[in-house]
Structure 1
Amino acid sequence: MSTPFSTPSSARSRRNRAALCAIVLSVGLGAAGPVAAQLVVVDPTNHATSLLQAARQLESLANEARGLAASPYSHLAENSEALRDMAELARTARGIAASADGLERQFRDLYPEDLSGADLERLLAQGGARTQTARRTAEDVARTAAELERLGRGRERRLGGALAASQAAAGQTAAVQSTNQMLAVLAEDLTALRTIMLAQSRLMAEATAREAADRVTAEEARRRRWSGSGGAPSAPKFDPLPHAGD
């Protein structure tokens, strides 16, 4: 038979649950202010717009990459080879040297400032070596001009190809690539101009140094010719007039 009153244990259980609910509620209300202040509001519209812009940029880059990969023209390998050939012209110079160390050695041997201690044989050898160096330096200039003329024909073809590729470019990246290839051809032209100017400068330096050395050698020869003491000639060892009385 049930009674209208609860047992003491059930009453204590209800009191404990009520106290626990009060504690949880008070903690939740106390922390509600700071948590609400720290929330970040996400705008779905702005987020979707950003994603759409990023997707469009990726698509544009992909199109540029496809256009660049599809471009059939590139002369970078030929350009590099031409630049190497021009550099080789200076390294294979046979006349006046193209390096500072070589020039110093040549000027010391071929164009000395002091000839007072040199004998006639050495002066003759130096003059012959200067003549040979002059010939080889002139040959270097002629060979350089001929080689640059050969490379120049290739540059005209490469420039025409770069112009055609620039006109047919179907994107910013492809257009930039074509422009860079035209700049590479112009760099070849500048390198060729620098190469021939350096060769001509060596020829002019050799001619100036050789003229100065020949002048010094001639002055030294004259000094030695006229520096000897003049005296009476020695008597001949034979009778120049054996039949003068006949």
Structure 2
Amino acid sequence: MTGLRHIAVTSAVAIAIASATSSSSAQLIVFDPNNYAQNVLTAARELQQINNQITSLQNQAQILINQARNLASLPYSSLQQLEHSMQRTQQLLAQAQRIAYDIKQIDQAFSTTYAPASTSGQDQALVANAQTRWQNSVAGLQDALRVQAIVVGNLDANRAQMSALISSSQGATGALQASQAGNQLLGLQAQQLADLTAAVAAQGRAQNLETAQRVAAQDQGREQLRRFLAPGRGYQPSNVQMFHQ
């Protein structure tokens, strides 16, 4: 500001000298150096204020641009595909044959079909239970293979989604897009864990049914042997016709 004041005073003095040495016929002009210097200083202050306002508006505009970028939504969404994959896996688990994932149904089966062989039951009942247990084991193995097929089939879709999400995350223009990409990656990971859980559950179910079948078969074998060796119920020879005349 001192420099501006010095310039204003110097200009005023120069104008005053020029006016004094002008032709005598020229009209005398009254000039107030102090007033002129004050006007120059006022104009300079106003110009500085305008420059400050322009700078402030530019900063505010940049802040708004950054906020808009941070609030911009991610253009890619994998939610629908993830939901579809999880629904397919859940449907397969719900379609489990014979002994499914139901506590009441399991308890009922182990109190009847897989229960210890009764000493008073008919031989036909023992055979029927053995046949049912075998069918349960086969159904469990088939269900496990179906779930595993779905899980393997989801691998290609999951790989494509992961690639798209990583690309979207790397090209994110703001915090919201980066956060949404990260959340979707977590969703994809959760879906993969759900597939893994389903595969493990299906495989465990098949193995458990197979183990239960072997245990029940051993118990039934002991009962059948007891009946075979029991007095009065042992083996009775009989004539068997192998060929028809």
Indicate whether the TM-score tops 0.5: yes
Look up the match of 1:63.
69
Distance in 2 (alpha carbons) for counterparts of 1:161 and 1:126: 53
171-180 or 100-109, which deviates more: 100-109
Return closer, same or farther for 1:175/1:221 CA change in 2, 3 Å cut-off.
Answer: same
Look up the match of 2:212.
209
Pick aligned residue for 2:144 from 141, 145, 150: 141
Look up the match of 1:42.
none
- Check conservation: 1:96, 1:202, Cα contact below 8 A: no
- Check conservation: 2:99, 2:136, Cα contact below 8 A: yes
What RMSD, in angstroms, separates the aligned Cα atoms of the two structures? 2.7
Pick aligned residue for 1:180 from 174, 180, 183: 183
Tell me the number of residue pairs that the alignment of Structure 1 and Structure 2 aligns.
Answer: 180
Distance in 1 (alpha carbons) for counterparts of 2:186 and 2:233: 74
Which runs of 5 or more residues in structure 2 are unaligned?
Answer: 1-56, 237-245
Distance in 2 (alpha carbons) for counterparts of 1:147 and 1:230: 52
Distance in 2 (alpha carbons) for counterparts of 1:129 and 1:151: 33
Q: TM-score, length-normalised on structure 1?
A: 0.66
Q: TM-score, length-normalised on structure 2?
A: 0.67
Look up the match of 1:112.
115
Q: What amino acid maps onto 2:163 in structure 1?
A: G
Distance in 1 (alpha carbons) for counterparts of 2:232 and 2:175: 88
Distance in 2 (alpha carbons) for counterparts of 1:103 and 1:159: 39
- Check conservation: 2:133, 2:213, Cα contact below 8 A: yes
Return closer, same or farther for 1:229/1:54 CA change in 2, 3 Å cut-off.
Answer: farther
Measured after TM superposition, the shift of residue 155 of structure 1 is 0.7
Return closer, same or farther for 1:190/1:98 CA change in 2, 3 Å cut-off.
Answer: same
Look up the match of 1:29.
none
Look up the match of 2:34.
none
- Check conservation: 1:162, 1:182, Cα contact below 8 A: yes
Return closer, same or farther for 1:112/1:63 CA change in 2, 3 Å cut-off.
Answer: same
Distance in 1 (alpha carbons) for counterparts of 2:100 and 2:233: 45
Measured after TM superposition, the shift of residue 56 of structure 1 is 7.8
Measured after TM superposition, the shift of residue 172 of structure 1 is 0.7
Measured after TM superposition, the shift of residue 54 of structure 1 is 9.8
Following superposition, which runs of at least 4 residues in structure 1 exceed 4 angstroms of deviation?
Answer: 52-60
Distance in 1 (alpha carbons) for counterparts of 2:166 and 2:178: 10
